[in-house]
Amino acid sequence: MADTNLSQTFDAIVVGSGATGGWAAKRLSEAGLTVALLEAGRNISPSEFTEHMPAYKLHFRDMSPEIVKTRPIQKQCYACMEYNYDWFVNDLENPYSTPKDKPFTWQRLRIVGGRTMVWGRQSYRLSDLDFRAYSHDGYGQDWPISYADLAPYYDIAEDYVGISGAKENNPALPDGHFLPPMALTCGEEYMRDQVKKTLGHTITIGRVAMLTENHNGRAACHYCGPCERGCITNSYFSSPFTTVKDAVKTGKCTLATNAVVAHINREKGENRAAGVTYVDRITHQTKEVKAKTVILCAQALESTRILLNSTTREGTAGLGNSSGLLGRGLMDHSTGGGATGELPGFDERPSMNGPHRSNGIYVIRFRNLLTGPQQKRFIRGYGYQGGAGPQFDFSAGGFGAGYKQAVVRGSYGISVGAFGESLAYPDNFVAIDPDLKDAWGIPALHISMTHRENEKAMQEDAAVAGAEMLEACGAKNIQISSRVAEPGMAIHELGIARMGNDPKTSVTDAWCQLHDVPNVFAMDGACFVSSGCQNPTLTMMAITVRACDHLIDRFKRNEV
């Protein structure tokens, strides 16, 4: 535990210091509220960043037996490697269970900043195609907010974070406040033009939380490439060096590290939270923090775990669960469908030297739009991420100079991979496992989720449509994949404390407040009603800013 004073009664406790927790702490403390920001992991320093470390300096060449032993689940994440594996949770200390026939990979970090230290940074707005999806196809529920409600808060988040991208005037993917876009490769420019002309689909450069010019005291990206290993110039958005830093700077925010929150405490005889109980990750001592409000930003699964563990005599099914829906409707984008090939006519050779653009293209959703033909096999839609450029051929044969020349000769690759909407099935759920606890004695989650026929049909369609786009470019040796990856692989867990206007059909209201407990909030992905097909982090940030501004107004009116 950091040397901090947590004895006072705070205006707000914020649990989690990642994308949403950082924003909540910043927004509330800058408004003058006292905030206790509780992080389950340790602090992080730029001195441990390894984005410029060559691979030959790795002791085990990224095959460390320690990673295999302690992080077998985390190693499924592309970002978990010998360079940074200790940022990720130890799977032996942080267990969870699943049905034998329903595997789920839960990839998570426990450091200040959480997954903002390794995220892919893709930052897209949802549209009313997403917020009003039920009105369009009759599945699930509409959100209690519209795009117009959230747009001003998207603006605030983008203006602060710094999102580089290009405006496309496509209603399925609203434009935002962008820094100059990163450049497309020659192959991607050709692909964009040919696909637009032949198929009508819109391809744009990825909208990404990486600076293309100096912004808010942070330097522009220098294109070194491996962002998941840290960034010494803070050119990509990570909360420790932006929102959390700003919050602590106010003098109103107390950052407490190694504080593993176990449950929310209730006011005796009152339907209100009094604070939280946490376990010190290092000493295993149990402690309490008191506050007027509790804000969960621990990540959807962890926040819901805290609520489910917050039982009392009046409610043994978890705090805020009068609807019976807490933990129900788990979503994670479906992935696995797409196409790869080789693009002839481009003679550029691959190089280990820079620059390395840590971004790709984005193909905006073109299925099941508000107007036009609708698919018969599935509802909702998908977008693609991908790219085109020169690639090494490490499968080349030969020896010596001939082998080296063959490797560098390589090919000009082209690929697209789909992210599809995940439907909120009620029987995709999380619950407390009665027989499993973590290393700190806190009951662990049981996660039961599987992708269904809708997701399978969507990925099959994405494979065929991906091949059509590559064929439109004249690509050769096209190969397709239509499999559906294991749930959790998108690392976009959403929707198990969903918002709505009716307490009987939702857990939180339009301001992320629990219907049942007026001073507890879930301001992360747990409040999502539907997933859309876009990466969700930017929307989480905007929702958090909106909810915090509403809470600040309530404090001003002495309603808290």
| CATH number for the domain that contains residue 383 | 3.50.50.60
317 domain residue, yes or no: yes
The CA distance from 402 to 518, in Å, is 70
What's residue 1's pLDDT? 37
The CA distance from 144 to 193, in Å, is 38
CA distances from 510 to 296, 329, 548 (A): 15, 17, 12
Spans of the chain, pLDDT less than 50: 1-3
Token pair for residue 140? 């699930």
Cis peptide upstream of residue 355 (ω within 30 degrees of 0): yes
Please state the domain count of the chain.
1
- Helical spans, DSSP H, in 78-146: 128-131, 133-137
Nearest CA to 519 among 199, 259, 250, 295? 295
What's residue 397's pLDDT? 85
What's residue 244's pLDDT? 98
2 domain residue, yes or no: no
4 domain residue, yes or no: no
Query: Strand, coil or helix: what is 43?
Result: coil
343 domain residue, yes or no: yes
Token pair for residue 479? 């190969």
472 domain residue, yes or no: yes
pTM over 0.85: yes
DSSP code at position 66: H
Contact present, 146 and 184 (Cβ < 8 Å): no
Token pair for residue 328? 């129900």
The CA distance from 53 to 238, in Å, is 20
242 domain residue, yes or no: yes
Query: Strand, coil or helix: what is 361?
Result: strand
What is the residue range of 541's domain? 9-556
The whole-angstrom distance between residue 145's C-alpha and the CA centroid of its chain comes to 21
CA atoms within 13 A on the CB side of 349: 9
Q: Where are the beta strands (DSSP E) in 320-399?
A: 334-342, 361-363, 382-391
Compute how many other C-beta atoms are within 10 angstroms of the C-beta atom of residue 4: 13
498 domain residue, yes or no: yes
What's residue 95's pLDDT? 98
The CA distance from 367 to 91, in Å, is 38
3 domain residue, yes or no: no
Token pair for residue 324? 């019976």
What's residue 394's pLDDT? 87
